[in-house]
Structure 1
Amino acid sequence: MIHPAEQLTLPNRAAAPPPARFPLVAGVAPLAAAGVIWAITGSAFSLVFAALGPVIAVASMVDARRTRRTGLRAEARAYAAAVEALRADVAARHETLRQSAWARSPAVGTILGGADDAGLWHRAHGPTVVLGSGEVDSGLRVNGPGDTAEERELRRWAATLSDAPLTVDPRGGIGIVGPLPLVRAFARGLLVQVCFAHPPDRCALPAEPGAGWEWTAVLPHAGAGPPAQTVVVTEGRVPTSPASGADPLVIALAETAGELPPGCATIVRVHGPLRAEIIASAAHARATRFRPELVSTEDAARFAASLREAAVAIGLVRHARPLPRSVALGELHGQGTASGGRGLEAVIGVGEDGEVSLDLVAAGPHAVVGGTTGSGKSELLVTWVAAMAARYSPEQVTFLLVDFKGGAAFGPLRALPHCVGLITDLDAAEAERALRSLTAELRYREEAIRSAGARDIAEIVPAAALPRLVIVVDEFATMLDAFPGLHARFVDIAARGRSLGVHLILCTQRPAGVVRDALLANCSLRVSLRVNNRADSIAVIGTDGAARLAQDQPGRCLVDAGAGIRPCQVATTLPGDISAIAELTPAGTPSRRPWLDPLPARVTLRDLRAAVAAERDAGREADREGYLLGLLDEPDRQRYRVARYLPERDGNLLVIGGAGSGKSSVLDALAANGSPGFERVEFVAPDVEAAWDALAKAHGELAAGGTGEARLLLLDDLDSLWARWEPEYQMKTAELLAGLLRDGRAYGLRLVIAVQRVAVLQGLSGLCQATLLLRMPSRLDHLAAGGDGALFDPSLAPGGGSWQGLRIQTPHPGPGARPLAAGTPTPSILDCAGTLLVVSAAPGRAAGMLRAAPGGRRTVVEISAPAPGRLARIEPGDAAPGTVFVGDAESWQAQWALMAALRAHAVIVFDGCSVGDFRMISRRRELPPALAPGRGHAWMLCPDGTLGRVSLPVAPRLE
């Protein structure tokens, strides 16, 4: 604008001359002269002059009028020329003013076209922005006396400057109303001007733009600070609060004026691409119409990129590029195979400076990753592992994965040949096993480095001799909540890991207070995705920046690798990417596993024999003899080992386990696998008669000085048998067992006894030198059996237990693996020749069975009285050879003479009698053989004193 004092003046119009009058004197004078001449001369010719007067008068009047019209035309031409000159002057002045105004406030088109690059951040643009082009006050004033319509129009035209920039001060806030596509295009034009006018160190935009404004992230102003001014673009009533305390420059967008936040000093309504109007403004009148400055997203994005390049060129910002909302692992260029070196550099995503790589060796040796649910923690870990696997072979790096969310996130990584273990949801026993395995791994590496004559893993040549091990733990806080003791072990690993090539990546939702200083001191590499509070962000990266990351941007993180905090968008890894990495990995020797899976739930003898062959190939043959007892877990040595039972060394074996724990299978397997040095292996089924006979037979053999051969006697479910024996048999069994367990070793006899509880047989465990403890129903039972409380696990599969302080899985023997001890056939009472004396608790029933038995041709005599007081005496001479005498114990007592006369050559059968009856009639003190209820067996005492069993005929069916 020019100074208002500058004035212009309209040209003066010439005054119009008076109209021409008739020349009366000139017309009368010739008449008077003609009369005088005629009077003097009397000549009539003189009267002709009298006619000249009127002619001259008329001619003079016509000439005067002509002259007046000519003057008027000349004056009009001069006035028009002066007005035109004035118009040209005003137009020239308008153009000068217009150019000066656009030069002070460049149009958006000029800025986007690059025609004003010299003015970028160097010209004093002032605190204004251009809304568009329209009419403004030019500051020119035209003075003059004229008041015609043309002159009034000239004055108005001179005072108005058209196609001029309409500028406003944006610091009071600008509200834009209209259809959102047009409103956003208008706001983009305003942002372009603000960022063009103000350098990044004076003006800043939010680092995380909202939806539809992603292009602003490219601007060098995005995230800059601390600025003098913060610009906030909002769609809605409440604008985003700036980080600093300064009032923000708000550009508010809405479809209606009622949706705008209060306090906007300038409000504009956009009607269309070519028409807009001012609703409120301190600088312009209400309803002022203008042509708005609209900018497309593509033009704005190109401008943002060029502006960043300009900022980089003059050193206002680092060379950077915007972070994408997502990126795929396959799109990264740094995924090629590593050409050399001893680091673990891997590209995990994209940052402002390009691709972001992390190196656990150079920036570690350990890393802490923080992030709340939904922030992309698991995706980051999968991408990091996959990126390392893509660059390094299994001979260079291996991975042990620990996931306390069930293993779903790490599941695809198991396809990588680098993966040496996946641990999910440990229980107490598995946690202890984990500690021992990790400690063993450190010992193994220390020994390997010492054997190589090196000080740390970096000096080992070739590098493949000892690959680096990366332990990745998801939900580290959850693991420590369940097992607090693990923290000390991880501190130990962190302290010793650098030289041993063991690296930790610990990920947790709640870093504050979980990863303690002793562990953090060795975790130099820090990565934080979005967290819920400032404390968690500060605990990981030292600032609260991670607490301000956008919720709708998973995978966005801040990385601190020792060179400052950098933003990064983590790449997404798909299962197909992992499969492709696995397929492209060169085949080689399977990686040594520092962590073995828990023992399998089922082991067979074939598995054990294969394991024996593997031990032989590995040169581990220290324990080559004995029975294959099971597969033993040795986490301290990071291996499985075949457990053996050597009777000569281990002595008697007690197998303890609850119902369904696999006790019988252990005995079956021992009987089936065989072992040199033991010629006889007898499996005694849990049968009352068979077990008694086996114990009695073994005791008799020992009493006779042994059999001269090594013998293994397997007794199954002994406590169940004990409960079915009568008290006298229980006492005798305890006596027999004690003698066999105590004295059998001298005669080559060893016992393997399976029981559910040892409390039934007091002192049994003290006479058994070895104990195999299988699954027990409760911890109390486990402890009562002498087990280690740390090894109690009610979820063990059948055959699972503990042996010599270690976890064991005993084999399933397979079908046909149970060789029963050969028993003595039980003769039938019908096969007994000669006289037969039957002492029966039910003599009538016994006599009836004998008479009705098939082939029963013998005489059956009942010696019992049919009623009290009617007992008939039978003389010995009355007994014909082969006669069967039947009576109860009382009757036989009454017929004692008959008993005394016949017993020397007759077989005595005790049917359903008690031990007392047996002793009373037989006059012998030993216990007769045990009888199984319901089997139809009876005691038989032969004339030579042999005591055994006899089977009775089946009672006839009643029709």
Structure 2
Amino acid sequence: MDSLPIAIPVAPAAARRPPIPFVAALVPVVGGVVLWLVTGSLFSLCFAALGPLMVVASLIDGARSRRKAQREAEAHAAEAWSQAESQLSRLHDEERRIRWHRHPDAAACLAQPPLRGPDLPDSRTEIVVGTGRGVSAVRASGGEGEREREFRERCSALEGVPLTVPIGGGVALRGAHPVVASAARALIVQMCLRFSASQLTVVGGRLEHWGVAGLPQARAARRGAFRLGVSQAGESRPVADAVIALLARDEEVPEGITTVIDIIEPRRATLRTPQGIVEMEAECMSHAQTVAVALARAGDAEALESLPSGVALSDLTQPGSGSGLAAAIGRGERDEIVLDIVDDGPHAVVTGTTGTGKSELLVSWVTAISSSHSPDRVLFVLADFKGGTAFEPLRMLPHVVAVITDLDDEGARRGVSSLTAELRRRESVLAAAGVRDVSESEMPRLIIVVDEFAALLQEHSDLGAVFTDIAARGRALGMHLILGTQRASGVIRDALAANCPLRISLRVGEASDSRVVIGTDAAADLPGGVEARGLALARRPQDSEPVAMRVALTSAADLRAIAVQWEHVDVPQSPWLPALPRVLPLTALRNDANHGEVVLGRADEPERQRQPLVTLSIGEERGIALLGASGSGRTSALRSLMKQHPDALLLPADSELAWDAVTELADGRTRPALVLCDDIDAQINDLPVEYAQHLAHLWEQIIRGAGGTTFVLTATRSAGAVGRLLDALPRRGLLRMQSRVDHLAAGGDSGGFERDRPPGRMRIDDREVQLAWVPEDRLRSAHPHRAMSPGGGQQAWSPRAAMTALITPGVSTVAVAVADAYPGCDVIPLSADLLQVPEQSGRSVILLGEPDAWQRHWTLWQRVRREGEVLVRAEHISELRQLAGVRQLPPYARSHAGRAWSLIGDSGPRRVVIPALIPGH
């Protein structure tokens, strides 16, 4: 035990005697003498008598207070000691309980069957030889008196605990024969209850005489098991790993035995080991008690001993095709074991720890049923939730319509959800046929086989209700469950277990699991190891006791033979539609769409057994937002829509052209039926803040106010202004996102994020949708002025007036470039001595100046503004507002790309391209 030490109460200290108040008593004496001297009255001396009286009173009161304090201290000490004694008793009881749990004797093993692990006993294995005093882990601290020392001694000693010794050193029992024989029986039974027959073997010459011959461990020696020998005086020592020797009272202990127990009577014995001699009580069992224990465990051993070491499925004779689905899956003590999931079921539970052969049993059961019954009579859905490979060989069988694995989380959930739809479908088929049971119809039975049902429930806890529903209604509908799990306790709920009368158990670790499945502890007593793989106990409704069998093994030849046997039989339609493909060509979908609709893709509704088209009604629906990371299929979706609706307006990727297109939509100059925009978040976020805010406002205005137009917008994220814009669309499709955070921010649920989600797979309207696909091609808008070009689709500027003002820095450098680009014009930089513009007939004039220079030539500026054209470079939007007085936001123009805004008269600014100003031109 690991607990804090018990605090020993502190002994009560003796109460201190209060001091005598001499000073207080002296005051009335002095006062009385002074009054007598002053007054001369003898009565004044009476005050002097008060002093001695006060001393006496103080002594009496102090004695009373000391006695009261002493009584209180003694009461507190008594209560503290009572609490310490109670704590000691509680800790000793807990420690005693733990020790008996860890080291049970025969009586404790019978009261609560011990847990059996897979490890064999060895020479270091502890055996309980009796009950006595042991060293306790409880400690106490404080106090040095006699009582305290006695309390510490009682803390460190624990009565009534199991005394153990290593079995490898052997045990010699000495005393009267009846008592020694009783003690030996208890030791042997203890070991047989703790270890199975595959782990322990009891050997000796007179086992029948002591009543232990009926124990499974004494029936036959098993290879590799620990050998426990029993010998008596005068007999040769058996060949064993450990020996229990029965000796007379004064007989010499055989060589090699390190533990000697001298038994006077059951409650009086001494244990002598190399560590010392202690008094103890020996456990004893009568002959009748030992025989009763042996009989309770002998039946299973007899059946197991007669089972073959191996069985091939091809060696079994399968029953003919009757009304049920009978199949021979193993060999028992006398004949083949035949199970019928219909007549013995309708559902079955198979348990067994790892390595016992549970998966092989399920494979053989499916194969055996398939060999005798055609696919038009029975179909299988196999769910493997312990690695995904157990049922792979069965895929070749025509009876197997689906294999679900834990490697495909979404596929597993989809498959199990489809079972609910299959229940409803079968109900409707039977109702339409006017029958109540599937045996009266032509519908095949469906068997759902799950390997590791506990793992399925752990990953998809909400699906337990689906299996409970199938278990309750499956008999009449022809749906059967075979549920495999390592343990049934806590996994197979009562509502489900009540509908699973067919039970099979291989070896389990705990007796409680065995009792839950087959009603006895026999499955916990099954041997372990490689040789015991495939040993099972089956219990059908008609069986009064579990039936032992060796499970048959299926070979690849068995599966190939069955596949060839039924290759010419028409396989019925699968109970549910296959999963959506990773690539869904548009050509396979367009013929199913209605007039006026474009196809987005195909949805998957496993719970309804449907895969309807997902369409968009052009001109009637406002639109949809598609969110996804790069490579998720956003652009492919737009490409598919452009293929179906060639007149659609595709917003160009060029920022300037996109700005023009959005402003035309906002002004109502264009009214397309379908508007497409790819990466609208990048289109907005790549602009300067002022332009980004204005463009987002224009988009919201367009979407909310444009009737008869459908919008399809794609983005990588939904945040800020883009998020508000996308929220204006009534539908949203969520493709693969870059991270779980982005997935949640886009409106996805916490469990729906898949990092490996295939391109084009989208979640929309709570359904999985695979977008339609068309071969990759460059997206081109049906509107020529929206088509993308390397230069942005802009025409080069040329003078349109006799006088042009260009506001630009670096006048001298720009003047040279402009003069070279426009040789037919006079290029004049503004200077201080320039008073008027020289006029030459037939030649345009381009005046270049910085903003300050134009401020100094304000008259000239006013003339150009009134009669000519003004150019303001896109890098200097502030000059456009200060000099030209333009307050509206001009068309977006890229900086440092030769862009400028042109002003002529009272018209608003327009964007132009001056090639001479393009860097490196």
Which TM-score tier does this pair reach, normalised by the shorter chain? 0.5 to 0.7
Answer yes or no: is 1:772 the counterpart of 2:733: yes
Q: Is the 8 A contact 1:835 1:881 kept in 2?
A: no
Answer yes or no: is 1:560 the counterpart of 2:549: no
- Aligned-pair Cα RMSD in Å: 3.9
Q: What SS does the aligned partner of 1:761 have?
A: helix
Shift of 1:527: 0.6
Q: Is the 8 A contact 2:398 2:563 kept in 1?
A: yes
Q: 1:635 to 1:831 in 2, by over 3 A?
A: farther
Q: Which residue of 2 is the match for residue 815 of structure 1?
A: 776
Q: Is the 8 A contact 1:603 1:631 kept in 2?
A: no
Q: Which residue of 2 is the match for residue 372 of structure 1?
A: 353
State which of 661, 665, 674 in structure 2 corresponds to 1:694: 661
User: What are the ranges of 5 or more consecutive residues in structure 2 without an aligned counterpart?
Assistant: 1-194, 202-211, 248-300, 787-792
Q: What SS does the aligned partner of 1:860 have?
A: strand
Looking at structure 2, the residues matched to 209 and 538 of structure 1 have their Cα atoms a distance apart, in angstroms, of 20
Q: What SS does the aligned partner of 1:782 have?
A: helix
Q: Which residue of 2 is the match for residue 574 of structure 1?
A: 555
Q: Is the 8 A contact 1:652 1:767 kept in 2?
A: no
Q: Is the 8 A contact 1:876 1:902 kept in 2?
A: no
Shift of 1:544: 1.4
Q: Is the 8 A contact 2:231 2:243 kept in 1?
A: no
Q: Is the 8 A contact 2:619 2:710 kept in 1?
A: no
Q: Which residue of 2 is the match for residue 328 of structure 1?
A: 312
Q: What SS does the aligned partner of 2:488 have?
A: coil
Looking at structure 1, the residues matched to 920 and 427 of structure 2 have their Cα atoms a distance apart, in angstroms, of 84
Q: Percent identity?
A: 35
Shift of 1:681: 0.9
Answer yes or no: is 1:348 the counterpart of 2:325: no
Q: 1:227 to 1:694 in 2, by over 3 A?
A: closer
Shift of 1:914: 3.1
User: What are the ranges of 5 or more consecutive residues in structure 1 without an aligned counterpart?
Assistant: 1-205, 213-223, 242-246, 266-316
Q: 1:940 to 1:956 in 2, by over 3 A?
A: closer
Q: Is the 8 A contact 1:421 1:595 kept in 2?
A: no
Alignment of 1:176-215 (within 5 A): none
Q: Which residue of 1 is the match for residue 588 of structure 2?
A: 610
Q: Is the 8 A contact 2:897 2:919 kept in 1?
A: no
Q: Which amino acid aligns with 2:722?
A: L
881-890 vs 432-441, greater mean Cα deviation: 432-441
Looking at structure 1, the residues matched to 387 and 303 of structure 2 have their Cα atoms a distance apart, in angstroms, of 43
Looking at structure 1, the residues matched to 627 and 829 of structure 2 have their Cα atoms a distance apart, in angstroms, of 51
Q: 1:253 to 1:473 in 2, by over 3 A?
A: farther
Q: Which amino acid aligns with 1:603?
A: V
Q: 1:884 to 1:423 in 2, by over 3 A?
A: same
Q: What SS does the aligned partner of 2:466 have?
A: helix
Looking at structure 2, the residues matched to 816 and 832 of structure 1 have their Cα atoms a distance apart, in angstroms, of 40
Q: 1:657 to 1:663 in 2, by over 3 A?
A: same
Q: Which residue of 2 is the match for residue 477 of structure 1?
A: 454
Q: 1:319 to 1:610 in 2, by over 3 A?
A: same
Q: Which residue of 2 is the match for residue 269 of structure 1?
A: none
Superimposed CA distance per residue, residues 86-128 of structure 1 (whole angstroms, 9 cap, x where no aligned partner): xxxxxxxxxxxxxxxxxxxxxxxxxxxxxxxxxxxxxxxxxxx
Q: Which amino acid aligns with 1:488?
A: A
Superimposed CA distance per residue, residues 344-379 of structure 1 (whole angstroms, 9 cap, x where no aligned partner): 111112112322221100000000001111110111
Alignment of 1:732-811 (within 5 A): 732-746=694-708, 748=709, 750=711, 752-754=713-715, 756-761=717-722, 763-811=724-772
Q: Which residue of 1 is the match for residue 580 of structure 2?
A: 599
Shift of 1:498: 0.8
Looking at structure 2, the residues matched to 956 and 637 of structure 1 have their Cα atoms a distance apart, in angstroms, of 62
Q: Is the 8 A contact 2:307 2:333 kept in 1?
A: yes
Shift of 1:528: 0.8
Looking at structure 1, the residues matched to 918 and 756 of structure 2 have their Cα atoms a distance apart, in angstroms, of 51
State which of 505, 517, 520 in structure 2 corresponds to 1:528: 505
Looking at structure 1, the residues matched to 598 and 447 of structure 2 have their Cα atoms a distance apart, in angstroms, of 40
Looking at structure 2, the residues matched to 572 and 228 of structure 1 have their Cα atoms a distance apart, in angstroms, of 27
Q: Is the 8 A contact 1:326 1:571 kept in 2?
A: yes
Q: Which residue of 2 is the match for residue 11 of structure 1?
A: none
Q: Which residue of 2 is the match for residue 666 of structure 1?
A: 637
Shift of 1:257: 6.6
Answer yes or no: is 1:549 the counterpart of 2:511: no
Q: What SS does the aligned partner of 1:811 have?
A: strand
Q: Which residue of 2 is the match for residue 643 of structure 1?
A: 614
Shift of 1:429: 5.2
Looking at structure 1, the residues matched to 329 and 536 of structure 2 have their Cα atoms a distance apart, in angstroms, of 11
Q: Is the 8 A contact 1:376 1:554 kept in 2?
A: yes
Q: What SS does the aligned partner of 2:675 have?
A: strand
Superimposed CA distance per residue, residues 858-912 of structure 1 (whole angstroms, 9 cap, x where no aligned partner): 321111x4xxxx4633347579732221122332333333333334553332223
Q: Is the 8 A contact 2:629 2:735 kept in 1?
A: yes
Q: Is the 8 A contact 2:604 2:768 kept in 1?
A: yes
Q: Which amino acid aligns with 1:439?
A: T
Q: Which residue of 2 is the match for residue 883 of structure 1?
A: 845
Looking at structure 1, the residues matched to 750 and 418 of structure 2 have their Cα atoms a distance apart, in angstroms, of 19
Looking at structure 1, the residues matched to 341 and 721 of structure 2 have their Cα atoms a distance apart, in angstroms, of 60
Q: Which amino acid aligns with 1:808?
A: V
Q: Which amino acid aligns with 2:848?
A: V
795-804 vs 871-880, greater mean Cα deviation: 871-880
Looking at structure 1, the residues matched to 693 and 215 of structure 2 have their Cα atoms a distance apart, in angstroms, of 96
Q: Which residue of 2 is the match for residue 909 of structure 1?
A: 871
Alignment of 1:71-90 (within 5 A): none
843-852 vs 494-503, greater mean Cα deviation: 843-852
Q: 1:915 to 1:439 in 2, by over 3 A?
A: same
Shift of 1:211: 14
Q: Which residue of 2 is the match for residue 162 of structure 1?
A: none
Answer yes or no: is 1:873 the counterpart of 2:823: no
Looking at structure 2, the residues matched to 476 and 431 of structure 1 have their Cα atoms a distance apart, in angstroms, of 12
Question: Normalising to structure 2: TM-score of the pair?
Answer: 0.64
Q: 1:668 to 1:342 in 2, by over 3 A?
A: same
Q: Which residue of 1 is the match for residue 814 of structure 2?
A: 846
Alignment of 1:302-451 (within 5 A): 322-334=306-318, 338-339=320-321, 341-425=322-406, 432-451=413-432
Shift of 1:569: 1.2
Q: Which amino acid aligns with 2:703?
A: L
Q: What SS does the aligned partner of 1:814 have?
A: coil
Looking at structure 2, the residues matched to 947 and 208 of structure 1 have their Cα atoms a distance apart, in angstroms, of 98
Shift of 1:427: 7.1
782-791 vs 440-449, greater mean Cα deviation: 782-791
Q: Which amino acid aligns with 1:394?
A: P
Of the two, which has the highest radius of gyration? Answer: 1
Q: Is the 8 A contact 1:852 1:956 kept in 2?
A: no
Looking at structure 1, the residues matched to 224 and 875 of structure 2 have their Cα atoms a distance apart, in angstroms, of 102
Q: 1:930 to 1:912 in 2, by over 3 A?
A: closer
Superimposed CA distance per residue, residues 895-950 of structure 1 (whole angstroms, 9 cap, x where no aligned partner): 33333333455333222343332234444443322113443322233568374332
Matched pairs, number:
653
Q: Which amino acid aligns with 1:561?
A: R
Q: Which amino acid aligns with 1:690?
A: L
Shift of 1:665: 2.4
Q: 1:880 to 1:259 in 2, by over 3 A?
A: closer
